[in-house]
A and B are shown apart, each in its own frame.
Chain A
């Protein structure tokens, strides 16, 4: 078998192995390691979705704290908007909220979503942290 054909088959076999086994090749090829998205900091649309029938004192404390004092001042100073909505929130027409529809579904509640409205993309989506400082940290990780 000619060498070029052998090389061709070996390449096919190697690519198939990589596709199926998905080995971690970052040690051999650092340039092909996991891609870390670069967040461009800027104003963010922050959305907290929860089922208000499941509200509890811990969640209530965090939500009120986000609307007052330093947390509210931080959000305002950085141009972030924060919406806190029910997972089945309705619009004025009685239909499901369009804001929610843009970010659905919500398999885990309560959830924190941070979006970059300029880039029209979600930069962070994770279960809502249990204290106010952790919520602000998460917003910062989302570029806020």
Chain B
């Protein structure tokens, strides 16, 4: 299905939509972390166009690893939603889309936020998904597999189930890298690694590089439920950042490459 990016969801004025956001920069010194280009060579810029055309023609963008559109439902948990979505996208690649265990963003947000609408920073979110993990979403399939070690996606006042850490550690990120340039973000997306970004007070997950009217940007999966345009086989849920927004989001983003083997 060819990607069609409607004007309404390009570089959206986030305030005009009235949805909750919740991303802020930590303000702390940026800890030295592995950079995306440290190990893997970046994809040469001269190849980007051909690679994106190839991705469009074959429906092989990272959006085709999305199995669910998150909904933060008015809480400031966008960072936790983007991080949990990243774990699910990598699960889909590693274990298959049918085998993805849907996750509870609230089980992460309660550790990185300080109130229902405080928001959180992406580096805190990444640290927590890699060190501690995320609990499965409270739904019938996960109840059957994990018993009471599940949580809903929303609800700041929800409490953790007993012994939740033992289950959460099954859903941890294990390989990741920091992106600090457009070249690193685009290389990650062309390699099908999802990229967690925060910009304009909102965190989302970049899943695919794309051109729109000749401008290189990024398709992201949002956490606002039934919002946005169709991609990855979903009727909605996706937005588009043009080159200008992509540049502002690319100075401190995180690519997730692997999650632990369950």
On A, residues with C-beta under 8 Å from B are 52-57, 59-61, 63-65, 67-69, 72, 76, 81-86, 89-93, 97-100
Interface residues on chain B, number (Cβ under 8 Å): 36
Chain A residue numbers with a CB within 8 Å of B98 are 76
Which residue of A has the minimal Cβ distance to B40?
A: A53
Chain A residue numbers with a CB within 8 Å of B257 are 52-53, 55, 86
Task: Tell me, yes or no, whether B237 is within 8 Å of chain A by CB.
Answer: no
CB distance from A53 to the nearest CB of B (A): 4
Chain A residue numbers with a CB within 8 Å of B94 are 83-85
Which residue of A has the minimal Cβ distance to B233?
A: A68
- Whether the Cβ atoms of A97 and B261 lie closer than 8 Å is yes
CB distance from B3 to the nearest CB of A (A): 14
Within 8 A of A (CB), among B38-93: 39-40, 43, 47, 51, 54-55, 58-62, 64-65, 92-93
Which residue of A has the minimal Cβ distance to B43?
A: A57
- Whether the Cβ atoms of B65 and A64 lie closer than 8 Å is yes
* 14 extra A-B contacts, CB within 8 A, seeds A61-B60, A64-B64, A92-B172: A54-B39, A61-B192, A64-B62, A64-B192, A67-B93, A68-B233, A76-B98, A83-B95, A83-B261, A85-B94, A86-B174, A91-B262, A92-B170, A92-B262
Q: Once bound together, how far apart are the Cα atoms of A99 and B58, in whole Å?
A: 31
Chain B residue numbers with a CB within 8 Å of A81 are 96
- Taken residue by residue from 223 to 262, chain B's Cβ proximity to chain A (1 for < 8 Å, 0 otherwise) reads as 0000000000100000000000000000000000110111
- Whether the Cβ atoms of A92 and B192 lie closer than 8 Å is no
- Whether the Cβ atoms of A60 and B192 lie closer than 8 Å is yes
Partner of A92, one of B58, B61, B190, B260: B260
- Whether the Cβ atoms of A91 and B260 lie closer than 8 Å is yes
Chain A residue numbers with a CB within 8 Å of B62 are 64
- Whether the Cβ atoms of B60 and A60 lie closer than 8 Å is yes
- Whether the Cβ atoms of A60 and B191 lie closer than 8 Å is yes
Using a Cβ cutoff of 8 Å, how many contacts connect chains A and B?
97
On B, residues with C-beta under 8 Å from A are 39-40, 43, 47, 51, 54-55, 58-62, 64-65, 92-98, 169-170, 172, 174-175, 190-193, 233, 257-258, 260-262
Chain A residue numbers with a CB within 8 Å of B39 are 53-54
- Whether the Cβ atoms of B64 and A68 lie closer than 8 Å is yes
Which residue of B has the minimal Cβ distance to A68?
A: B64
Chain A residue numbers with a CB within 8 Å of B170 are 92
Which of A92, A97, A98 lies at the interface centre, i.e. has the most chain B CB atoms within 10 A of its CB? Answer: A92
Which residue of A has the minimal Cβ distance to B172?
A: A92
Chain B residue numbers with a CB within 8 Å of A65 are 58, 60
Which residue of B has the minimal Cβ distance to A76?
A: B98
For this complex, 24 residue pairs linking A to B, each with C-beta atoms less than 8 Å apart, are: A53-B257, A55-B40, A56-B43, A57-B54, A57-B55, A57-B190, A64-B192, A67-B65, A68-B64, A68-B233, A76-B98, A83-B261, A86-B174, A86-B257, A89-B174, A89-B260, A91-B261, A91-B262, A92-B169, A93-B169, A97-B260, A98-B261, A99-B261, A100-B261
CB distance from A68 to the nearest CB of B (A): 5
Q: Once bound together, how far apart are the Cα atoms of A60 and B213, in whole Å?
A: 25
Q: A65-B58, A67-B64, A72-B97 are in contact. Are A90 and B43 (CB under 8 A)?
A: no
Which residue of A has the minimal Cβ distance to B171?
A: A92
